[in-house]
């Protein structure tokens, strides 16, 4: 995804509008020579995956999302539940220009280290915590020129998302959810069912944090592969 790792890091917030992020996925699939895909996304990748499945339903064979609610569910729930609005308060802080980048980088990226390693927001499962080498790799990537701005620009476009003329997903959906997500309330996971017009499966992974693919990689991989293999050879996927 643009703004992360060794992908392009455009500095303009305008470059991270959701229509561009969704088009990135379409362009990659078509560049690789395909017209359909099984799409998997986590967090912001999950948001883009939901939106891609909504706007290009014919291109998504199966959709798998990790710890990210359907965009309409998130909007509706946050507006009605102050507890979720409080958990999402960083969305508003990150709208400020330059100051969030400063606060995240001072004291040798102390705030980012806390995000990845604290008991509340970090990986929850003992034995899966980031090693010193893992943490150094994350911080190295985020310390590159423009990297923090690229990551924060996702938040800076959250209030100008693609218009959802129709917001239902027509492909089969697997939603995986870490039970101990510090950023998102679990009630939103079940509410996603309202926006699925096909088979929908929700798996709540006990003890897992927001970073469930790192907390419980074996369980997550097994659930994903099982879902991908189901219905192979069928012309359609039934509820």
Report yes or no on whether pTM surpasses 0.95: no
Residue 195, domain extent: 13-229
**How many distinct structural domains can be found in the chain?**
1
Q: What percent of the chain has pLDDT over 90?
A: 86
CATH number at residue 56: 3.40.50.1820
Note if 155 is an active site residue.
yes
DSSP state for residue 120 in the 8-state scheme? T
Q: What is the pLDDT of residue 125?
A: 86
Ranges 41-50, 118-127, 142-151, 189-198: which has the least confidence: 118-127
- Give the pLDDT score at 124: 84
Q: Which of 4, 20, 43, 76 is catalytic?
A: 43
Query: Which of 27-41, 161-175, 224-238 is most confident?
Result: 27-41
Q: Give the contacts of 169 (CB within 8 A, at least 6 positions apart).
A: 50, 53, 54, 57, 60, 63, 70, 195, 196, 197, 198
pLDDT category of residue 161 using cuts at 50, 70 and 90:
low
Mean pLDDT, rounded, of the chain? 92
Planar angle of CA 90, 149, 139, nearest 5 degrees: 85
Instruction: For residue 61, tell me if it sits in a domain.
Output: yes
The mean pLDDT of 21-32, rounded to a whole number, is 97
Q: Judge whether 210 counts as a catalytic residue.
A: yes
Q: What is the pLDDT of residue 165?
A: 53
Query: What average pLDDT does range 72-95 have in this prediction?
Result: 94
Catalytic residue among 155, 181, 195, 215: 155
Segment 189-202 shows an average pLDDT of 97
Helix boundaries (H) for 7-131: 18-31, 44-55, 71-80, 82-87, 90-93, 99-117
pLDDT of 237 higher than 60:
no
* Catalytic residue status for 199: no
Q: Choose between 126 and 230: higher pLDDT.
A: 230
Instruction: Give the mean model confidence (pLDDT) for residues 209-228.
Output: 96
The neighbouring-strand residues paired with 205 are 178
Strand partners, 40: 64
Beta strands in the chain (DSSP E): 37-42, 60-66, 173-178, 200-205
Contact 142, 113 (CB under 8 A): no
Residue 198, in any domain of the structure = yes
**What is the arithmetic mean of pLDDT over 145-163?**
87
């Amino acid at each position: 995804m643009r703004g992360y790792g060794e992908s392009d890091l455009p500095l303009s917030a305008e470059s991270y509008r959701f229509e561009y992020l969704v088009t990135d996925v379409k362009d990659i699939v078509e560049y690789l020579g395909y017209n359909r895909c099984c799409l998997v996304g986590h967090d912001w990748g999950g948001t883009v995956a939901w939106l891609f499945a909504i706007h290009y339903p014919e291109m998504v064979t199966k959709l798998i999302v990790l710890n990210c609610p359907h965009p309409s569910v998130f909007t509706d729930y946050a507006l009605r539940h102050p507890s979720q609005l409080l958990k999402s308060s960083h969305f508003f802080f990150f709208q400020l220009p330059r100051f969030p980048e400063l606060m995240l980088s001072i004291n040798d990226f102390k705030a980012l280290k806390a995000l990845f390693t604290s008991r509340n927001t970090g990986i929850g499962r003992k034995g899966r915590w980031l090693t010193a080498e893992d943490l150094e790799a994350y911080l190295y990537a985020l310390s590159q020129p423009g990297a923090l701005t690229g990551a924060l620009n996702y938040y800076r476009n959250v209030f100008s998302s693609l218009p959802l003329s129709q917001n239902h997903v027509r492909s089969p959906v697997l939603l995986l959810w870490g039970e101990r997500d510090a950023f998102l309330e679990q009630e939103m996971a079940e509410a996603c069912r309202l926006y699925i017009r096909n088979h929908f499966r929700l798996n709540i992974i006990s003890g897992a944090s927001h970073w469930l693919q790192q907390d419980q990689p074996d369980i997550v991989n097994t659930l994903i592969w099982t879902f991908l293999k189901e219905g192979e050879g069928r012309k359609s996927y039934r509820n």
